[in-house]
Chains A and B, each alone.
Chain A
Amino acid sequence: MLFGQRLRALAGWIATLAVAAAFVVALAAFFELLSHPGEERTQILRGYEWFTSGDLRVAFDLRWDPLSALMALVVTGVSSLIHLYSIGYMEHDERRETFFSWLNLFVASMLVLVLAQNFLVMFLGWEGVGLCSYLLVGFWFNRRLLVVNPLGRLVEGEPDDTREVWAPPAAKKAFLANRIGDVGFLLAMFLIFATTGSLDFDVVFGEAGALAAGTATAIALLLFLACTGKSAQFPLYVWLPDAMAGPTPVSALIHAATMVTAGVFLVARTHTIFEASGTAQTVVLLVGAGTALLAALIAIGQDDIKKILAYSTVSQLGYMFIGVALGPIGYAAGMLHLVTHAFFKAQLFLGAGSVMHGNDDDTDIKHFGGLRSAMPITFWTTMAAWAAIVGVPFTSGFYSKDQVLAAAFEHGGIGLLAWAIGVFTAGLTAFYMSRYVFLTFFGERRWPEGRHPHESPPVMTVPLIVLAVLALVAGFALTTFTGEGGRFQAFLEPVLGAPEEHESLAAAAGLSAAATGLAAVGAIVAWLLYVRPFDWLALRRRWAGAWRPLAEKLYVDQVYEFFTVNLGGALAAFLARNVDQRGIDGAVNGVAELVGSSARSGRRLQSGLVRSYALGVLGGAVLIVAFLVFRP
């Protein structure tokens, strides 16, 4: 969608209406789907043939089933709200029509991803969303951006330390991390085609059960490599925090609510392959649990509000992977957490954007405090999302996280380890999220002289309110404690399969208590540190040795940088200078000189060369003629 100058002011509205229309259509199609009995809720729309080569025939087929319907609704629904918000947020940006056209391209690609009926079309969407992420992270390509250095004020009297960053390197990092994942996706497709002779979901899933264990494991792990890129899991998660260089609505839409959940969706979509490999499921489980814990720890050490939320997203995605790694008992839980997270994390990001909007684009949590009276709507809606993410009973996050953890517990074995990590991480989550809201909205005012924090316009606050309401009630609305695992699970069962048995209500309540209790502890500790009059910066200085590794993101980025930039760069430089120029080219020129035609003596050689060419051709001709004449 390209808009002329005159349409510039309208670009945002047109884009928003287009997405909202898509949401309405998706809603209508969803109700149409509901009118069918459970087993008949898969509809396939055949499209034109895209790729053909021998046995390989790939068409633009789309699939409408409960799983894709759920994703389509979340994507278009949340996008509509974020588009609306962006009209206000991007109001003063001179390239906003570009912004909205990319944002809409993103929604279109995301729909291709979730509606695909074969791996290659899914890959088209998969790469399309990656491209939009790249473009939108780097949207402010020529603007100096400031990020907060969490090591600031580690020494008494030191001023706040900000680091200047540029968006393009962050965008490139995102693209490249995803490219590593894409290699997994590509190789998985090759292996799938080599073993099943097709890339169509129905054919491939039909044969998934008959795959050799090693092949199934290889395919599943290669697909999961792609997931770790797109969904920011260990070891490829490092791009997501950097991607916060993009405009905040982008962070909310792409890097919290929708695109980063594509990996979770991929595991759910290809669950029959993962079910054929216990090893792969264990790997997903451990990576998910490990990432949840790691990112939660790093989130504690950040002072930049967007970075806190970014690491929080990485951590929450870990929970979703725990869910979908568990088999039929966890699929619905993982997907439910995906949905609730889309609501509360989108709110949190938009809320953070609203805070930035009202505070001269500052992101340093040390500069806020007491904002709740200046920005009441932002405050209350953020508190609703906070309640959801820390798991206050009966909010959406409580249900979804609880179901994930309960499924892990019931899974037993390695699932118990994931459960323990998940419960502990729930405590950490409550701590860092409480720290976030307390330092931002409560306590004394720490903002600099001359700043006048103000509430955002209605076009921004309306989406906040809608998302806050969803964050509170979505869990309750989508599940119930009665019936076979709740309505949500029943809806997805035709696609994801039914679990064999369900936990009893009593056990569930007991397990919930563990996570909720630990979360309460985390929140109370945060209260004691950050709301009570207490010099938490002095505490940080005293414990600088413990603070520094968290603030330095546990040094993961430094390790990666050493291997890629330093070692990889040295290898490339060695090849370019020593091997290519001196080695190979040197040998070529050496041979040339040896033959006697000095390749660097200019003019003399030019004529000499033409002579030798003529000689060569003549020689050849003589050879042919001689041969033909004297041929036996």
Chain B
Amino acid sequence: MLLTATLFAPLAGALLVALVPAARQESARLVALAASLVTLGLAVVLAARFQTGDAGFQLGMTAEWVPAFGVSYRVGVDGVSLPLVLLTAVLTPLAIAGSWRMADRPRTYLALLLVLETAMLGVFVSLDLFLFYVFWEAVLVPAYFLIGSFGGERRVYAAVKFFVYTLLGGLLMLVGIIALFWLHQQATGTPTFDYEALVDFQKAPSTQRWLFAAFFAAFAIKTPVWPFHTWLPDAYTEAPTTTTVLLAGVMSKLGVYGFLRFALPLFPDGARWAQPVLLTLAVVGILYCALVATMQRDFKTLVAYSSVSHLGFIVLGIFAFNLQGLQGGVFYMVAHGLVIGGLFFITGMLEERRGTRRIEEFGGLQQVVPRMGGVMLVITLGSVALPGLVGFVGEFLTLLGAFLENRVYAVLATVGVILGAVYLLWAYQRMWHGPLEREENRSLPDLTRREWAILAPLVAAIIVLGLFPRPVLDRVEPSAQRVVEQTQAPSP
């Protein structure tokens, strides 16, 4: 019940926001913020009740939905999904606070953000494949409108591309889900979309390959895995910045979570069969997107490419099929959410002040907005995985996992660590250091109290989880271990 409340609290909030009279749009902000904070509170209680050390699903709820077709409402969290639920619950109120000054239809915008939150939470907690698919596609709707009707100049192009591309992947997965359902019913006679039943169901290796490929389409596009990434720079760049925070911070985790929760346990043979391809694509993505990022002139696009590059590390860790890789991958998801969220928030704050995101328009900002510069430095260092900050834990474990599985891929990916520092530090240097050449930059105000409130939790989490990662690692470990065992299950 608690989990269900957490899941639907944002949706209820969205309805309330929509009910706010048009004349009093400002109070919509308070309603939205309150709804997201209630969600956060519920998620914290959820985390407090979570039994560390238990690998299975907890705090769940099951209800019949369409019994004739074996569809049920079944939700639950384990060590893999719990951190992602918390991440979502933390980033959404920050994104709402970040949209505080929004003048254009704030009611609609905030309601859409809250709908997006419920949809994304739903993906993380669903334990029924039908329910999962519903949430998976439900994410698209608010995201499409957030980009397409609130975004920048090329918003329609970006939104359509994002929509069509991810929808296509989703439809292929749907075919896979139906096929799996059918096969299971053929074999057992019971219709069910239940996750655990379908995991336990033995599938022939050749079948697994086809089904893995169908799920791969959805997850690879959503993540995105290179070379399916080209919708992302457009979508992230054109979306309003607080939307980008949620897209990059949370939505980008849906794909990698899908691999971890569904593709690996459901089709271990298929995953093993595809492993070399996935590892190759991950490494190519890490290096390629880092190189492309160096050439970007728009800081937002640069961060977008950095996001693709970093997600390559997560895919690498997951497809290492060992504990370090998987556990590191989940930790990396959390770390990436915090860091990329911070980077996009800062981008938005700069854009609000200067009306541009082009790197060359800045320079010497450190002397004008030193506090913002300090925050930017911590977040940047978190992103380049400095030990002691959150990024390092995930990067070390995923690379170690990859190394234990296949040294060649790991060595190549480790080279990506250098490139990651190249593009981000270079951009940091060009924007924050050097001479203050442009008149327009001289009078920029430093962080406001509201902006502090947004950035301080992120900075604190980046430092604290870097030095004390165990609260997260310990909860992830048993569940990650279970996925490892499922992945290594012998072929039927």
Contacts and interface: CB of A to CB of B under 8 A. Distances in A.
B470 A572 contact: no
Contact of B171 (A191, A569, A577, A616): A616
A191 B182 CA distance: 46
Contacts of B334: none
Nearest to B469: A51
Q: Is the interface of A mostly helix, strand, loop or mixed?
A: helix
B111 to A, nearest CB: 18
Contacts of A580: 230, 292
B102 to A, nearest CB: 22
Nearest to A124: B387
B273 interface: no
Contact of B400 (A56, A171, A571): A56
B124 interface: no
Contact of B411 (A54, A120, A187): A187
A592 to B, nearest CB: 7
A187 B294 contact: no
A588 B164 CA distance: 11
A183 B422 CA distance: 14
Interface string B391-417: 001001101100110000011001101
Contact of A599 (B157, B323, B397, B473): B157
Interface stretch (A21-29, A174-182, A492-500, A525-533): A174-182
B227 A606 contact: no
Query: How many of chain B's residues touch chain A, expressed as a range?
Result: 35 or more
Interface stretch (A80-88, A469-477, A509-517, A624-632): A624-632
Given A52-B474, A53-B324, A124-B387, A183 B436 contact: no
A628 B434 CA distance: 66
B367 interface: yes
A127 B160 contact: no
B156 A141 contact: no
Contacts of B467: 50
A238 to B, nearest CB: 15
A572 B418 contact: no
A194 B387 contact: no
A185 B30 CA distance: 50
Interface stretch (B44-52, B261-269, B425-433): B425-433
B106 to A, nearest CB: 22
Contacts of A56: 324, 397, 400
Nearest to A612: B164
Contact of B417 (A183, A194, A606, A623): A183
A613 B295 contact: no
A53 B477 contact: yes
A612 B163 CA distance: 11
B464 to A, nearest CB: 13
B56 interface: no
Contact of A572 (B227, B291, B327, B328): B291
B137 interface: yes
Contact of A575 (B292, B327, B400): B292
B230 A584 contact: yes
B41 interface: no
Interface of B is mostly: helix
Interface in A41-85: 49-54, 56
A446 interface: no
A464 B7 CA distance: 67
Given A50-B469, A190-B403, A599-B161, A588 B230 contact: yes
Interface in B161-176: 161, 163-165, 167, 171, 174-175
Given A53-B397, A169-B429, A613-B163, A179 B418 contact: yes
A162 interface: no
B185 interface: yes
Nearest to B423: A572
Interface in A583-632: 584-585, 588-589, 592, 597, 599-600, 602-603, 605-606, 609, 612-613, 616-617, 620, 623-624, 627-628, 631-632
Interface string B224-240: 00010111000000000
Nearest to B384: A179
B470 to A, nearest CB: 6
Contacts of A616: 167, 171
A624 B324 contact: no
Interface in A154-206: 166-169, 171-172, 175-176, 179-180, 182-183, 186-187, 189-191, 193-194
Given A50-B467, A588-B165, A613-B167, A624 B160 contact: no
Contacts of B142: none
B178 interface: yes
Interface in B446-492: 467-470, 473-474, 477, 481
Contacts of A171: 429
B163 to A, nearest CB: 6
Contacts of A612: 164
B175 to A, nearest CB: 8
A142 interface: yes
Contact of B163 (A52, A176, A180, A609): A609
A172 B68 contact: no
B191 A628 contact: yes
Given A172-B429, A180-B418, A571 B291 contact: yes
Indicate the size class of the contact surface on chain A. 35 or more
B366 interface: yes
A602 B422 CA distance: 37
A124 B388 contact: yes
A573 B434 contact: no
B53 interface: no
Contact of B414 (A167, A183, A597): A183
Given A599-B164, A628-B68, A576 B296 contact: yes
Q: Which of B157, B291, B294 has the most CB of A within 10 A?
A: B291
B171 A179 contact: no
B69 interface: yes
A620 B171 contact: yes
B221 to A, nearest CB: 10
Nearest to B403: A190
A128 interface: yes
Contacts of A628: 68-69, 191
B122 interface: no
A592 B387 contact: no
Contacts of A605: 156, 160
A172 B433 CA distance: 11
Contacts of B148: 606
A318 interface: no
A603 B178 contact: no
A620 B161 contact: no
Given A138-B433, A584-B227, A53 B473 contact: yes
Given A186-B417, A572-B295, A588-B230, A627 B182 contact: yes
Interface in A327-376: none
A123 interface: yes
Given A141-B433, A576-B296, A176 B397 contact: no
A171 B418 CA distance: 15
B57 interface: no
A221 interface: no
Given A123-B387, A141-B434, A142-B436, A131 B381 contact: yes
B386 interface: yes
B132 to A, nearest CB: 14
A194 B403 contact: yes
Contacts of B404: 190, 193-194
B393 A142 contact: no
21 contacts: A49-B470, A53-B400, A54-B477, A56-B397, A138-B429, A141-B432, A166-B435, A172-B429, A179-B418, A183-B417, A183-B418, A187-B411, A568-B291, A572-B291, A575-B295, A603-B156, A606-B148, A606-B160, A609-B163, A609-B164, A632-B186
Given A183-B417, A575-B288, 8 more contacts: A53-B473, A142-B367, A171-B429, A183-B414, A183-B418, A589-B161, A612-B164, A624-B69
| Shortest 6 CB-CB contacts between residues of A and residues of B | A576-B295, A168-B433, A585-B230, A190-B403, A141-B433, A572-B291
